[in-house]
Amino acid sequence: MLERKKIKGRTQITFILPDGTPDGPVSVVGDFNHWNPAAHPLTPRGDGTRAASVSLPAHSTHHFRYLAAGDYWFNDDAADGHDGTNSHLHT
């Protein structure tokens, strides 16, 4: 799931997954963090989910995926689109 919040010409995107689905650590990786899995690990929240947030320029498009333990890559069904490999989001 993606949450969006407009803040002074930028859009804060929060990437949200249920805690434990999939098991183990998960990071969001994309063109906004140079596909670096250490940049945005999802962290547990009190509501039983885990999340990571990034601030991106408004009116831009970005590609991303999730990376879980065991080199398991997956997309976000709630993304704005998919190109067969990556999820897309529009700010």
Domain boundaries, the chain: 2-83
Q: Going by C-beta distance under 8 Å and a sequence separation of 6 or more, which residues neighbour residue 3?
A: 13, 14, 16
Q: What share of the chain is helix, strand, coil (3-state, %, to 5)?
A: 5, 55, 45
Average pLDDT per 10 consecutive residues for the chain, totaling 91 residues: 93 93 94 97 94 96 96 94 94 93
Q: DSSP states of 16-46 as a string?
A: EEETTSSSS-EEEEEGGGTT-TTT-B-EE-T
Task: Tell me which CATH homologous superfamily contains domain 2-83.
Answer: Immunoglobulins (2.60.40.10)
Question: What is the structure's pLDDT at 84?
Answer: 87
**The pTM of the whole model exceeds 0.95:** no
Question: What is the structure's pLDDT at 21?
Answer: 87
